[in-house]
Amino acid sequence: MREVGARGPAISVDDDCPVREVLDRVGDKWSVLIVVLLGQRTHRFGELHRAIDGISQRMLTLTLSRLVRDGLVCRTAHPTVPPRVDYSLTDLGRTLLVPLRALDAWAVAHRDDIRAARARHDAAAG
């Protein structure tokens, strides 16, 4: 396993790159959004549907089932009528909030830098 990073902890990079594994899992269009919302509090299916602007029912179902499958999200179906299903983060899911916060902090701190770089680059060339 090759590693990088002169100072600070290394990031492994090879064939089975853990970072890539995470990104393949939560790097899709909706997973992070859902994890973050569930990090806030438990949500029902419909609540998530309303909270996440633009998501289709299909994608919400799909993404949730993947997250449940990966042990990040917990699904609780109440045998009532009409049915009621609650989704919440598992312990594992909650631990994921930590690195996501780090990424978020970076985004907040540097979004303007990126926009500036873009503007500069686009102005120079096209």
Q: How far apart are CA 92 and CA 99, in angstroms?
A: 12
Q: Does 70 bind a second copy (CB under 8 A)?
A: yes
19, 18, 53: which is closest to 33 by C-alpha? Answer: 53
Q: How far apart are CA 57 and CA 38, in angstroms?
A: 17
Q: Which is nearer to a second copy, 26 or 82 (CB)?
A: 26
Identified binder of a second copy from the candidate list 81, 98, 123, 126, rule CB under 8 A: 98
DSSP string, 83-126: -EEEEEE-HHHHHHHHHHHHHHHHHHHHHHHHHHHHHHHHHH--
Residues 4-63 that bind DNA (CB under 7 A): 28-30, 44-47, 49, 54-59, 61
Q: Which does 110 bind (CB under 5 to 8 A by kind): DNA, a second copy, none?
A: a second copy
Residues near a second copy (CB under 8 A) are: 4-5, 8-9, 11-13, 15, 17-23, 25-28, 32-33, 36-37, 39-40, 53, 68-72, 92, 95-111, 113-114, 116-118, 120-122
